[in-house]
Structure 1
């Protein structure tokens, strides 16, 4: 009898220990969403793998998952926004989890009537594996939130710069909500939470505002953007600076070209003089005292002077110098 009681006590302790292993975790327990937006409720769970009864280890398997609204336990015939056993699926509520550990719920186009506390429940092939986290996630829905426009730069910018305008609201999420933009109460073709402008011109100046879709009652207060044009003095200085820079470049190029031309001409003159020096050869003076010039390709000729004297002159010699006879000797190289 005592042995049986001990077995019951130990089985109950093991059951409690196994129950402690069952967990459902919500990433946050409260959130806020703008009406018409899409909301994610991140969730994860750890199921009980097995339990012991009468000394036997009984394995468990999750066979059903549910999300309920405003019910502390989410069991029995409690209405569910999602039930894996139901064929009637509401497309507004999409289960992004599985049967093993993920239990995220997505709510699309959330409305004011959807404001509630949502809880997840898992059910196994034995009631020992059933579990609901009663904490749940409280979802608050904002119908007409106050929108606000902020700029990446100051409200005063210069032409040529770029700026980004951000449309935001209170901590409420407005994921997948169409954001409309206006300038001076005129609708702009751009849409989305961020408006990119640039390069800016004077015509981009104006009062910018944003709103949730076509709901004009949610339009933000205007954000004044003033695009300042460059002053005439700054423009003149810039033009003068560019002109001076261009003039310096042109002068430098002209000087370089002149230097190259002079260098080329000097080189040509030097080569021409050298060729003439090599091509002409100056010979000794001829009979008339004139220098003779011949080309290097002609045979080289050398002249020699020969003196003849008579021992017994037959006639009176002229008082001039000895007669000179020139003989040409041809030398062949």
Structure 2
């Protein structure tokens, strides 16, 4: 009897060691949800890899996973909200895990009857690997509640270029909503997450934002006003630049006008200097006239030829000018005509 008793004792110890080696962990022990929302129960597990009855190691493999409500061990005929071996599954309960380590459960369109404690159970190909965490996760459901918007910024007025995150939540409980409808100035925005990220901000992002659970529009929040200071900054910048722009424009026009006027006056002076004086419709030429008689040097001659040359040494030229029709005043300058006689002697 003793040897048999020792065998049973060793087997029991191996089972205890196996039970101690396998674990199921819930991220939190309780949470809350609003009717019509979506809630996630994060979960992870570590299955027993093997057991050794009679000193012989036998590997284990998980073949079934379950989630049940308000039952301590989810065993036997206990109703389950999810059973991997069953094809008749409630569509609102979606298993996000696997058969190895992840046991997360998602509950969509939460109803009032979903309030209670949910537990996870794993089953192996040998009963030595079956395990349920009896702690579970307690869910409380709120029927009618207004959502709230919390901003990552401490103020509703933000600067251009910033990034702001708006979170749709409640004041009574903290949970993750996956199906949220966002609106801006009454118009629906794309996306259905519980967080709305805006940025880099421009003036177009200014407006009143609201959120509500997609399946329960009674939860719509009060409007959250977001104002981007871009327009005011641009107006102030434009106003401050107006005097400078006007001064620069005036200076350029003044320089161009002065340059054009200077060129015009300079050309007028050049034209006046090169043109004859016009008086009384007739042209008066003020040109100095020089008349000369130049005789080339003569070869030396003798006798009568020399006397003839000497007689012809002086030659006079007379020029008469017709008086201008204009009456000239007395004391006018004398005729600048110069008479000259040049004689060249041998």
CA contact (8 A) 1:179 1:213 kept: yes
Instruction: Report SS of the residue matched to 2:88.
Output: coil
What residue is the counterpart of 2:328 in the other structure? Answer: none
* Alignment partners' CA distance in 2, 1:34 and 1:244: 59
Q: Alpha-carbon deviations, 1:239-269, whole Å to 9, x = none? A: 875543442242344356568879999xx9x
Using a 3 Å threshold, how does the CA distance of structure 1 residues 262 and 58 change in structure 2: closer, same or farther?
farther
* Alignment partners' CA distance in 2, 1:214 and 1:11: 53
Instruction: Report SS of the residue matched to 1:248.
Output: helix
1:70 aligns with 2:60: no
Using a 3 Å threshold, how does the CA distance of structure 1 residues 307 and 246 change in structure 2: closer, same or farther?
same
* Structure 1 unaligned regions, length at least 5: 269-286, 290-304, 325-333
Using a 3 Å threshold, how does the CA distance of structure 1 residues 166 and 58 change in structure 2: closer, same or farther?
closer
Using a 3 Å threshold, how does the CA distance of structure 1 residues 256 and 65 change in structure 2: closer, same or farther?
farther
* Alignment partners' CA distance in 2, 1:65 and 1:115: 21
Q: Map 1:35-50 to 2 at 5 A.
A: 35-50=35-50
What residue is the counterpart of 2:82 in the other structure? Answer: 82
Question: What number of residue pairs does the alignment pair up?
Answer: 273
- Structure of larger gyration radius: 2
What residue is the counterpart of 1:309 in the other structure? Answer: 299
Residue 306 of structure 1 and its aligned partner are, at CA, apart by 7.1
What residue is the counterpart of 1:106 in the other structure? Answer: 106
TM-score if structure 1 supplies the norm length?
0.62
What residue is the counterpart of 1:30 in the other structure? Answer: 30
What residue is the counterpart of 2:175 in the other structure? Answer: 173
* Alignment partners' CA distance in 2, 1:79 and 1:214: 26
RMSD over aligned CA atoms reads 4.9
Q: Map 1:147-186 to 2 at 5 A.
A: 147-148=147-148, 168-170=169-171, 171-173=173-175, 175-179=177-181
Q: Alpha-carbon deviations, 1:9-66, whole Å to 9, x = none? A: 6555444333222111111111111100111111111111111111211011111110
1:139 aligns with 2:139: yes
Instruction: Report SS of the residue matched to 1:250.
Output: helix
TM-score if structure 2 supplies the norm length?
0.60
Q: Map 1:125-274 to 2 at 5 A.
A: 125-148=125-148, 168-170=169-171, 171-173=173-175, 175-179=177-181, 188-190=186-188, 199=203, 218=219, 241=240, 243-254=242-253
Q: Alpha-carbon deviations, 1:221-251, whole Å to 9, x = none? A: 6778999xx99xxx9x988755434422423
Deviating more after overlay: 250-259 vs 110-119: 250-259
Instruction: Report SS of the residue matched to 1:16.
Output: helix
CA contact (8 A) 1:67 1:118 kept: yes
* Structure 2 unaligned regions, length at least 5: 268-289, 314-342
CA contact (8 A) 2:149 2:168 kept: yes
* Alignment partners' CA distance in 1, 2:297 and 2:178: 129
Instruction: Report SS of the residue matched to 2:141.
Output: strand
Deviating more after overlay: 42-51 vs 213-222: 213-222
CA contact (8 A) 2:35 2:216 kept: no
Q: Alpha-carbon deviations, 1:290-322, whole Å to 9, x = none? A: xxxxxxxxxxxxxxx974431534331427443
* Alignment partners' CA distance in 2, 1:143 and 1:252: 73
CA contact (8 A) 1:180 1:214 kept: no
Using a 3 Å threshold, how does the CA distance of structure 1 residues 130 and 256 change in structure 2: closer, same or farther?
farther
CA contact (8 A) 2:37 2:216 kept: no
Residue 4 of structure 1 and its aligned partner are, at CA, apart by 7.8
CA contact (8 A) 1:74 1:132 kept: yes
Instruction: Report SS of the residue matched to 2:58.
Output: strand
